[in-house]
Structure 1
Amino acid sequence: MEEINNIEVVPCTESNYLKPFRLLYNQNGTKKSWDFMRTHDSVSVLIFNTTSHCFVLVKQFRPAVYMCEWEKAKTKTSQGAVKTEEGEASESQEGQSAAAEDTSSQWPPASAGVTYELCAGLVDKPDLSLEEIARQEVLEECGYDVPASKLKRITSYRSGVGVTGAKQTMFYAEVSDDNCVSAGGGEPREGELIEVVKVPLHEAMTFAYDERIPKTMGVIFSFIWFHNNMSPKYKISTNV
Structure 2
Amino acid sequence: MDIDIKNFKISKLEHSNFIKPFRLNFELNGEPRAWDCVKVHDSVSILLYHSEKKAFLLVKQFRPSVWFYQDENLINCDEKGFTYELCAGILDKGISEEQTAIEEIYEETGYELKNLEFITSFYSALGFGANRQILFYGEIDESMKKGAGGGVDGENIELYFLPLDEAKKFMYDEKIVRASGLVAAFLWFFQNKGEI
Shared fold by TM > 0.5? Answer: yes
Q: Determine if the alignment matches structure 1 residue 204 to structure 2 residue 167.
A: yes
User: Aligned pair count?
Assistant: 194
Aligned-partner Cα distance in 1 for 2:100–2:89: 8
In 2, distance between residues paired with 1:231 and 1:175?
17
Q: Percent identical across equivalent pairs?
A: 41
Q: What's the counterpart of residue 93 of structure 2?
A: 125
Q: Which residue of 2 aligns with 1:230?
A: 193
**TM (normalized to structure 1)?**
0.77
Deviations 1:130-172 (A, max 9, x none): 000000000010110001xx20110000000112211100000
Stretches of structure 2 that go unaligned for 5 or more consecutive residues are none
* Structure 2 Cα separation of the partners of residues 203 and 60 of structure 1: 20
Q: Is 1:113 aligned to residue 76 of structure 2?
A: no
> Which runs of structure 2 are paired with 1:5-24 in the superposition (5 Å)?
5-24=6-25
More strand by share: 2
Q: Is the contact made by 2:55 and 2:161 (CA closer than 8 Å) also made in structure 1?
A: yes
Asked if 2 retains the 8 angstrom alpha-carbon contact of 1:25 and 1:31, the reply is yes
Structure 2 distance, partners of 1:111, 1:211, is 12
| Pair member with larger Rg | 1
Give the number of the structure whose residues are more often helix, by fraction: 1
Task: Give distance in 2, aligned partners of 1:34 and 1:24.
Answer: 7
- 1:215 and 2:178 matched: yes
Deviation (angstroms), 1:5:
1.6
SS in 1 for 2:80: helix
Which one-letter code corresponds to 1:120 in the other structure? A
Q: Unpaired segments of 5 or more residues in structure 1?
A: 77-108, 235-240
1:166 aligns with 2:131: yes
CA contact (8 A) 1:54 1:200 kept: yes
Distance 1:191 1:32 in 2: 41
- TM-score normalised by length of structure 2: 0.94
Q: Which amino acid aligns with 1:37?
A: V
| Counterpart contact for 1:4–1:110, Cα < 8 Å | no
What does the per-residue CA deviation read over 1:90-144, in whole Å, with 9 as the maximum and x for residues that have no partner?
Answer: xxxxxxxxxxxxxxxxxxx993111100000000011x10000000000010110
Does 2:53 match 1:52? yes
Q: Deviations over 1:27-46 (max 9, x none)?
A: 22121110001111100000
Match of 2:104 in 1: 137
